[in-house]
Structure 1
Amino acid sequence: MKLLRFLLAGAAACATFASVTAHAEDLSFGIISTDSSAVLKQRWQPLIDDLNKQTGLSVKAFFATDYAGIIEGMRFNKVQIGYFGNASAMEAVDRANGEVFAKVKYANGDAGYHSVLITNVASRFKTLDDVFRNTKDVNLGFGDPNSTSGSLVPGYYLFAKRNVPVNTSAFKMVLPASHEANLLAVVNNKIDVATNNTIELATLQKQHPDKYAQVRVLWTSPIIPSDPLVWRKDLPDATKEKLRNFFYHYGESDPHEKAVMAAITGFAGFAPSSNEQLRAVREIALFQQKQKIANDTQLSDDDRKTQLAALDAKLAALSGTAPKQ
């Protein structure tokens, strides 16, 4: 009887261990909401199917209505790996125990992409001067607050450098939306101007050249590093190794894999990366914070000076010019 109880206890322990192991192999892959969930699922599900088949992991796609949903999902361990933009990756690294481990490669060989400001070809806006001549008469389509190309980059390079805040005190209306929604609004002449990126424009040109012909680009940003993949730092090492082996080699030569990557907005595969690729985005974010503090009339001179000094120290640390301790 004792032997039976021992065997049953051992079997239960093995079952428990197997359950824990299986759970460690069950992952949620978060994908930022650049488009509708249906479009994103169509693009990404073939890759996730191949990921499961080649690694033995059980990975399911997770879509949220905004970028914050993916970041919070990773923060509370509901998402263990994800496709992010650089700005949302920065948030995932800082707030959700994330770590950049890969970045996408583009079929055309580009090292990154660009943010753009677009309008309809039939609109009254022919140049940037037309937009900034009287922004109070402009309806602006802006990106998700955590979008690199939809918000952070144009917020700094396009608007902050002209001392134009992105709010209804400066514009007639500001309408935050996904890249897809903003692009369609411009194509259908439902909004004056909108932020977007060259990846979405290239996809539109390929799939709907007639609609692409309705878009005029008014401004193009400096290059943005290609989008990163982020995992939770506390994933088991064995799981990380499986993910590395899959992503670092996926799409290199296999025709099916190449086709899958091409369908995800012109990607060609993935390359190793790290948190270091977020340096430029961090600098932009800090510059924006400096401008916000400098223009905050509610702060005392001493508080403003203290906060600006703290941000200057962070910028110096990023650029490697901080004094040695």
Structure 2
Amino acid sequence: MFRKFATAAVLAATTLSSAALAEFKPLEEDPKEINFGIISTESTSNLKAQWVPLMKDMEKALGMKVNAFFAPDYAGIIEGMRFGKVHVAWFGNKSGMEAVDRAGGEVFVQTSKADGSQGYYSHIITQADNDNINSLEDIFKCDKSLNFGIGDPNSTSGFLVPSYYVFAKNNVDPKSCFKTVRNANHETNLMATANKQVDVAANNSEQIGRSKIKAPDAAAKIKVIWTSPKIPSDPMVYRKDLSKELKSKIKGFFLSYGRFGDVEAAKKVLAGISDGQGLFMESNNTQLYPIRQLALFKDKLKIQGSEGASDSAKAEKIQLIDKKLSELDILVANQ
């Protein structure tokens, strides 16, 4: 068992060696107040309504002030953590991976649904009354007649997953295929689709579920034409250089929230987050392995289809990616 663990640890260090070189500003000591980062999946006002009640409960449990930290894009939360301005954050898996690799982050729990299930899905959506678009094949005519809404570059479901499964695997370049391609958060892309400001957009099951509750008229105006494989539930990440004591307190709060104390009040707060959140579950950086594989597969397909580079140069890059993928296969097998 020790040898198995040691092998996995060595491979993890090897696989992530390049990412580990990214510099982040070390904390000199534990913060006096916790800054809690929230990625911009929708408007700040909506996100405040969902997350601030949990932060207030966290503040009481830890006995220290907890401040909400918002930014106009995912990168703002990642960079906030990198420079010690964010200490705890809710991320998607892609942005969580960037926080781990570049911002000194560490996954410690992940979200779940109210029924205890975990995971969600990326979708491609269009207008419900658009009879001309019912599948991916209908958007791959690539005559630059359609406007496409894609997610934040650090979004898992809004960018990475569709970039790989929808475009890379079908050898389609969105910029060459569509009239326009614009980046926006999930809420904006859904509303833009419903209001016919874009023809097609990337979205996810959580935003669609939330819109059915909060904006049912808009939700009724869209239809799903593609669904991804299941994506791991969102990670909660804290700075790995917080003291063990503070990390234990933070992790303890999340794992006990809705399980001990005023359970009903906590579950009511959780139910107001996203499309209805359940209890937080134990997790760590290993939940990011499938996302790492996805990012590497996407890079490999991009290199294979690139023009201008010599065959030997492409082969060298692909060999390096295959090596990392093999290492990740072993890591996944050793989980």
Normalised TM-score (structure 1): 0.89
Q: Does 1:117 align with 2:124?
A: yes
- Equivalent position of 1:69 in the other structure: 76
Q: 1:297 aligns with which of 299, 303, 307?
A: 307
- Name 2:292's counterpart in structure 1: 282
Consecutive unaligned residues of structure 1, counting only runs of 5 or more, are 1-19
- Greater Rg, structure 1 or structure 2? 1
2:169 to 161, 175, 182: 161
Determine whether 1:28 maps to 2:28. no
TM-score scaled to structure 2, two decimals?
Answer: 0.86
Structure with more strand by fraction: 1
RMSD over equivalenced CA pairs, Å? 1.8
Matched, 1:256 2:265: yes
Shift of 1:208: 2.7
Shift of 1:298: 2.9
Is 1:247 the counterpart of 2:254? The answer is yes
**Does structure 1 retain, via aligned residues, the 8 Å contact 2:30–2:242?**
no
- Equivalent-residue separation in structure 2 for 1:318 and 1:225 (angstroms): 16
Q: Secondary structure at the match of 2:278?
A: strand
- Could you tell me how far apart the structure 2 residues matched to 1:68 and 1:26 are? 22
1:97 to 104, 123, 126: 104
Residue of structure 1 in register with 2:157 after alignment: 149
Partner AA of 2:123 in structure 1: V
2:320 to 285, 305, 310: 310
Structure 2: stretches of 5+ with no match in the other structure: 1-26
Which residue among 193, 212, 217 is the counterpart of 1:210? 217
In 2, Cα distance between the equivalents of 1:291 and 1:229? 30
Deviations 1:186-221 (A, max 9, x none): 111111000000001111112232222111100010
Give the superposition deviation at 1:128: 2.4
Report SS of the residue matched to 1:113: coil
Alignment of structure 1 residues 262-273 onto 2, 5 Å: 262-265=271-274, 266-273=276-283
User: Whole-Å Cα distance in 1 between the matches of residues 303 and 314 of structure 2?
Assistant: 6
Distance 1:211 1:177 in 2: 17
- Give the secondary structure class of the aligned counterpart of 1:118: strand
Aligned-partner Cα distance in 1 for 2:28–2:80: 21
Aligned length: 302
Could you report, residue by residue, the CA deviation over 1:97-127 in whole angstroms, capped at 9, with x for unpaired residues? 1110000011133220000000111223133
Is the alpha carbon distance of 1:73 and 1:21 closer, same or farther for their aligned partners in structure 2, counting shifts above 3 Å? closer
Summarize deviations over 1:52-111 as a string: whole Å, max 9, x none.
011112211110000011111111111111000000000011111111000001113322
DSSP 3-state at the match of 2:326 = helix
* Cα shift at 1:44: 0.4
Can you list the C-alpha shifts for 1:227-257, whole angstroms capped at 9, x where unaligned?
A: 0001111001111111011000112361111
1:165-176 equivalences under 5 Å are: 165-167=173-175, 169-176=176-183
| 1:257–1:82 distance in 2 versus 1, CA, 3 Å | same
Query: Is 1:88–2:95 an aligned residue pair?
Result: yes
* Corresponding position of 1:14: none
1:8 aligned residue: none
Structure 1 residue runs of 4+, over 4 Å off?
A: 20-23
Question: Structure 1 residues 30, 135: closer, same or farther in 2, change over 3 A?
Answer: farther
Contact kept, 8 Å, 2:134 with 2:225, in 1: the verdict is yes
Q: For the structure 1 residues 95 and 135, does the alpha-carbon distance in structure 2 shift closer, same or farther, using more than 3 Å as the test?
A: farther
CA contact (8 A) 1:159 1:166 kept: yes
| Residue type of the alignment partner of 1:216 | K
Percent of residue pairs identical: 47
Contact 1:24–1:236 (Cα < 8 Å) also in 2: no
**What is aligned with 1:134?**
142
- 129-138 or 228-237, larger mean C-alpha shift: 129-138
